[in-house]
Structure 1
Amino acid sequence: MQIELTWTWLEGHPSLDFANTVIRRGWTEYELINSVADLDSWLDAAALPAPRPPTVTGDDLQAFLPLRDAALRLLRAGAGHGDWQATDVQTLNETLLSHPEVTLLGATMGSVESRPVGAPTPFTLLLAKLAAEVRDVLAGPRPDLAFCDAPSCGQLFFQRRPNQAWCGPPCGNRARVARHHTTSSN
């Protein structure tokens, strides 16, 4: 099945935009980042916590996918939809440890600025910042982190109200239609 890359689902939060590059159609999950061109397209559309690298390579793609997979599983676990895996924590932490930052006092009172230790490539720095965004969501209490279990969704989102079950109205409609279809066929 070919999935059109429109990126219309982007949440606007770097950790969720990162994890949600796997999408569900029906109950099957599909990878949206299958090539350097796909990664390049996503970088143009996503909310990024660091400057967009000017170019991406096949090596960047190979570094992106394992970190994204770990982030996806951890965020789903944080939303109560999956298990917390030590190997995923290790993947995230290794990325953070391999590209540390220091926070320095800024030029004006009350401001700070972060600087990477060493000279990481722009893409390496972006991965470290994405890992930090995932860490920050999972480290603090985020009762609004949720998993949309509507048919053909499976995206992570932040609830805008306490009882919000789906990421948006279209998913709520699909879930209600599916539930009605199931109950009326019994």
Structure 2
Amino acid sequence: MTGLRDALRRLAAEATEDPRPAAASDTRDLDAAVAALNQAASDTPHWSALSWTPGQPPSRQLRTSGRTASAAVSAIAEETITLFSQDTRHQLRACLAPGCVLYFLKNHPRREWCSAGCGNRARSARHYQRHRQNTA
């Protein structure tokens, strides 16, 4: 799982041109990150199954021929491949709030941070800098 996490971080940094050194991945090579992602996606066969009981709404269930944890990692890798291979990858942004190393999808024109907490930290840091400069 650590290898997949590092690969995802490297791919996200590539897609967003992430300038943050603190968010750097241990996987430095783009080809290695792609290979790790593809390996994780192919590790465990998984498929969707439809379940529909009369009188109940239909539901989707994940089936696997291997361990459930391996299937979950494989499904995460599969969703990542979908994200990076579609135009939604252009919505991916690095959160530039102080101390944050996360990424988010910019699904609203005014969204600049991964969470409200990061937005508050960024605004507080700007406020502190303005007032610190005025008193010096």
2:106 alignment partner, one of 159, 167, 173:
159
Question: Do the aligned partners of 1:155 and 1:167 also contact (CA within 8 Å) in 2?
Answer: yes
1: CA distance, partners of 2:51 / 2:116: 45
1:4 is matched with none
Q: Which has the higher helix share?
A: 2
Per-residue CA shift, 1:120-148, capped at 9, x if unaligned? Answer: 11111111011112112111111322211
Question: Where do residues 79-94 of structure 1 align in structure 2 (5 Å cutoff)?
Answer: 79-81=16-18, 85-94=30-39
Q: Tell me, yes or no, if structure 1 residue 76 matches structure 2 residue 25.
A: no
1:136 is matched with 82
Question: Where do residues 1-186 of structure 1 align in structure 2 (5 Å cutoff)?
Answer: 64-81=1-18, 85-101=30-46, 115-116=63-64, 119-142=65-88, 143-180=90-127, 181=129, 184=133
1:56 is matched with none
Which aligned segments of 4 or more residues in structure 1 are displaced greater than 3 angstroms? 100-104, 111-116
Aligned residues: 118
Seq. identity, %: 27
Question: Do the aligned partners of 1:144 and 1:162 also contact (CA within 8 Å) in 2?
Answer: no
Partner SS, residue 146 of structure 1: strand
Q: TM-score, normalised by structure 1?
A: 0.51
- Higher relative contact order (Cα pairs below 8 Å, separated by 6+ residues): 1
- Coordinate RMSD, CA, aligned: 3.2
Question: Do the aligned partners of 2:46 and 2:71 also contact (CA within 8 Å) in 1?
Answer: no
Q: TM-score, normalised by structure 2?
A: 0.66
What runs of 5+ residues in structure 1 fail to find an aligned partner? 1-63
Question: Do the aligned partners of 1:99 and 1:128 also contact (CA within 8 Å) in 2?
Answer: yes
